[in-house]
Chains A and B, each alone.
Chain A
């Protein structure tokens, strides 16, 4: 059988590549300070994901107009606020936030977004990964304060995911459990 990849799968793969690029070994680890097991490495990964997403939304905005553009601009601002909050938390724990990357470097990992539909599908995949990352953080962060921060950001990401689904004409919630089930 000839290999066949749908457009959606291609965009999802690109989102996965973006996540790997943002969370993998490219960003240097925080230089000094906090003890191992403080959760600072995970904070650094979440920060890298937020920064990559801010750049990704910048690319999405280039092909969006009207209501979708307005909503995506609002989401981008919230992602920037999350990045700022995570940076502050890393600093509060005695760490040094990893340096960001130039936008062009992130953009090399993005798919080509030709239409608003491409941008919204890409954004949906990104937001699904955000929700999953913060739900994992809820399990993995050792300190209650960090778990509370992760839960707060996760509710914003769930709102974003619902929004990009509605903008595509899809139901806001795919099912009763966004990822996993009891």
Chain B
């Protein structure tokens, strides 16, 4: 990942957030997540997307996520969706954890890290929703 520009790193994170937004929107439509939890997580993802859009300010060329086969399968029930969402949130947190330290503008690292930390809390919320242990 060495040598990638801040914009390229931010576009990747933006696309991850779009995938989460798509997943929570679909889960709410299909009743695959508790409504209150789903609305809270969706609102957070939209705040992250707005923040990243402001930073990108039209730079980069993010792709719109397609509705994946994994998501379609996960939407069959609350347990399967929770497992999918935990996987996707965890993948997003790992993307932040690997990208944020590489961002050259130091002023961006702390606020991007605060989004990363929110993702960590989302994992806990989703685990709690299905009764999984909160700390591995």
B residues near A171, Cβ cutoff 8 Å:
40, 125
A residues near B93, Cβ cutoff 8 Å:
155, 158
Q: Is the CB of A71 within 8 A of B134?
A: yes
Give the size range of A's interface with the partner.
35 or more
Given contacts A162-B134, A163-B134, A166-B128, contact A178 B121 (CB under 8 A): yes
The answer to the question of A172 belonging to the interface, with a C-beta cut-off of 8 Å to chain B, is yes
Give the size range of B's interface with the partner.
35 or more
A-side binding surface: helix, strand, loop or mixed?
A: helix
Q: Is the CB of A154 within 8 A of B135?
A: no
Q: Is the CB of B113 within 8 A of A135?
A: yes
A residues near B107, Cβ cutoff 8 Å:
139
Q: Is the CB of B106 within 8 A of A139?
A: yes
Please report which residues of chain A, range 160-181, place their CB below 8 angstroms from some CB of chain B when the two chains form the complex.
Answer: 160-163, 165-167, 171-181
In angstroms, Cα B122 to Cα A178, docked, is: 11
A residues near B98, Cβ cutoff 8 Å:
148, 151
B residues near A144, Cβ cutoff 8 Å:
101-102
Provide the B93-124 mask, 1 if CB < 8 A to any CB of A, else 0: 11011101110001111111111111111111
The answer to the question of A83 belonging to the interface, with a C-beta cut-off of 8 Å to chain B, is no
* Chain B residues in the interface with A (C-beta under 8 A): 40, 43-44, 47-48, 51-52, 54-55, 93-94, 96-98, 100-102, 106-125, 128, 133-136
* Chain A residues in the interface with B (C-beta under 8 A): 71, 74-75, 78, 131, 134-136, 138-140, 144, 147-148, 150-152, 154-163, 165-167, 171-182
